[in-house]
Amino acid sequence: MKSSLNSNVQRREMSTEAPKVPVGKLMKAESIAALYRTDVEATIIAFSSKHQGKRPRIVGILATDSKPSEMYAEFTRKTCEGMGVDFVLKRVGGAVVVGEKGKGQEESVGVDGDELEGSIIEANEDASVDGIMVYYPIFGGLQDHYIQQVVSPFKDVEGLHTKFHFNLYHNIRFIRPASLASALPLSSATGQEPSADSDTPPPGLVKSILPCTPLAIVKCLEYMGVYNAHLSYGDRAYGKTITVINRSEVVGRPLAALLSNDGARVFSVDIDSIQEYTKRPTTFNASSSSTGIPRRLYHPQHVVHPTSNTLEQCLAISDVVITAVPSTSYKVATSSLKDGCICVNVSSEKNFEKDVREKASLYLPAVGKVTILMLLRNLMRLCHYRELMQEADTT
């Protein structure tokens, strides 16, 4: 009898327990990277076959003793070697470790950082080098931006040269390879404006190189369903509100531009301000002469506006939240997130709280493996662009 009473009490206690809160799905970058790996590997094999077994070569330049940069360099080396790309790591300045031998092909130059620029110029002029990547941050701010311009646009696998940023910010998607040798920026008058209905370059044009990390994030968002394939090319993120926490020229600003040029409403958050990126005017233009109905004429590329929204207000209406803050202490409060949103962490630090999936429907904690695939895709495209220029010179 006593046992029966105890069982009844236990059943009543179990029935009053609060139901478990459903959690969102944890996404993995490996699954997304796998979608591109086969195509990139095929392009590398074709390149080697065409060039009598020569493997594409990247020189990576490491100029600090930053642990995240060291890890990224080692990850780059492993991925390149696994996919048939020669990778040479050149250590300069603060990255030189006296008396310690690294893995793979490594060179050490100088001990005070003076050789950084010289090492980039040397790689620019070395015909055996197909791509160059530099591990940032080094000095920070404008000095890093200057270093990015020293890398030849013909070998800039990271897509950080001003030529590529200009094209991205002006929504110029297709270019002539020879334009990379010009000192002048492109304009819509050149006939190189983006196609409105296809991602296939018109005859004689190729795709402009995009920064590999922002591009990787876009590919992740496509995989997670943020982009709507039923909409027109160049507008497939329409209807989405996205907050990007970071406005660096390496990740945050180009990412905000990419997303808004694809139709999204983007809040770009930095330390001291929040800006809104959109290519949709806030007001209607004069009535159409044929229909008499007011219409909005879309901007050819995104426009930046100040906003009075606080971060909490931005988060509350955002379908997607992307963070790239290099700080262990910075965390996005789960309570501020919109129910069912998608969260993407880009920083080597985790910028979301541990319970993020109690609000987020999808959570991607890292994008590095997709970034490396985009970097290698950029490498092979730049190899192809140089070949097209050489063929043009011989005809």
In angstroms, the first-to-last Cα distance of the chain is 100
Number of H helices, E strands in the chain: 10, 16
157: nearest Cα among 69, 63, 60: 60
Structure tokens at 80: 């390149």
Query: What is the torsional sign of CA 20, 343, 141, 148?
Result: positive
Residue type, 23: V
The span from the CA of 355 to the CA of 187, in Å, is: 47
Catalytic residue of the set 80, 212, 220, 314: 212
Q: Quick check: 338 and 362 in contact, CB under 8 A?
A: no
Say if residue 222 is exposed, middle or buried (CB neighbours under 10 Å; 0-12, 13-18, 19+): middle
Residue type, 185: P
Residue 212 annotated as catalytic: yes
- Partners of 352 in the β-ladder: 332
The span from the CA of 265 to the CA of 267, in Å, is: 7
Q: Which residues are catalytic?
A: 212
